[in-house]
Amino acid sequence: MRQALTKRLAEEFALRGPPRNTQLTYRGCIERFELHHGAPATRLGRTHVRQFLVHLLEQRKLSPTTHNVYAAALYFLYTYVLGRPNVVVQLPRRKAKRTLPAVLTPAEVEALLGALPPRHRAVLMVAYGAGLRFSEACTLHIADVDSKAGVLHVRGAKRNRDRDVMLSPRLLDELRSYWRRRRPPGPELFPGRAGAGTTLTRAAVQKAMQKALAKVGLTRVRTGRRITPHTLRHSFATHLLEQGTDLRTLQVLLGHASLSSTTRYVHLSTARLASVKSPLDRLHV
């Protein structure tokens, strides 16, 4: 990506304030777009955008969800950064198949957490114990752990919304044990290997998680499920729903902007489905 475009993109990000992960993703998409055509985006147009999206579909065979991320990045680039909305007007979006995410049982969560190294267990226990997104768990600061109030302060989350979530006694014990072992210098609670200013990476945690999953027999080959750090957030929501937590409370805990995002966990709760009686059972046939 050319220096001038990089500067303009950074300015637009600063003005609009998308999450850091979105910024990194959009930058990567734009760089691959330019690399594919061997030219800067400022010299490319509607035909080039269409050719690139067809390439992603036919050669790269990307999923509809990933394909739409590229489309969104190019839309942002030409509409807001370069001021050429005609390039991406009526940009097609692929319809993604709605699939239910994987969910672990409480016994499986317990087995997984027990097989993890202490450092990775602590951050994944935060993801499950408080229902945080992986990025939210990794970027927690030491000051965000409020033991007196019994809450975790989640700052600058998705759409730059702050929220407070539960800090269970069991999770607090784990974090105190982690603190005594690691003594992180701060401000990050889970610093990366490079020290202050960095955090644990998804790749590092995912690698440790895969080893633990293999150890307890929860591999994708055996279970048919792809289990990731985000699976623990799905499991948190499903298990709370099965315990009787109402959807509005769950929405606040998860930080969902819309209740419709929360209602999908009703479909994941097999316990709730099993408790519903079919009208057929009332018939004397």
Catalytic residue IDs? 133, 158, 230, 233, 256, 265
Side-chain-facing half-sphere of 189: CA atoms under 13 Å: 27
CA angle 247, 248, 254 (to 5 degrees): 85
Three-state secondary-structure class, residue 154: strand
- Cis amide bond preceding 184, omega within 30: no
Q: What six digits make up the tokens of 93? A: 């979006």
What's the gap between Cα 255 and its chain centre?
12
Is residue 46 within 8 Å of residue 36, measured between CB atoms? Answer: no
Q: What six digits make up the tokens of 84? A: 């050429």
Is residue 136 within 8 Å of residue 253, measured between CB atoms? Answer: no
Report the C-alpha gap between 29 and 70 in whole angstroms.
6
Report the C-alpha gap between 266 and 272 in whole angstroms.
7
Q: Which residues of 34-54 are buried (b: 16+ CB within 10 A; e: fewer)?
A: bebeeeebbebeeebbeebbe
Q: What six digits make up the tokens of 192? A: 């990366």
How many other β-carbons are positioned within 10 Å of the β-carbon of residue 206?
15
Three-state secondary-structure class, residue 61: coil
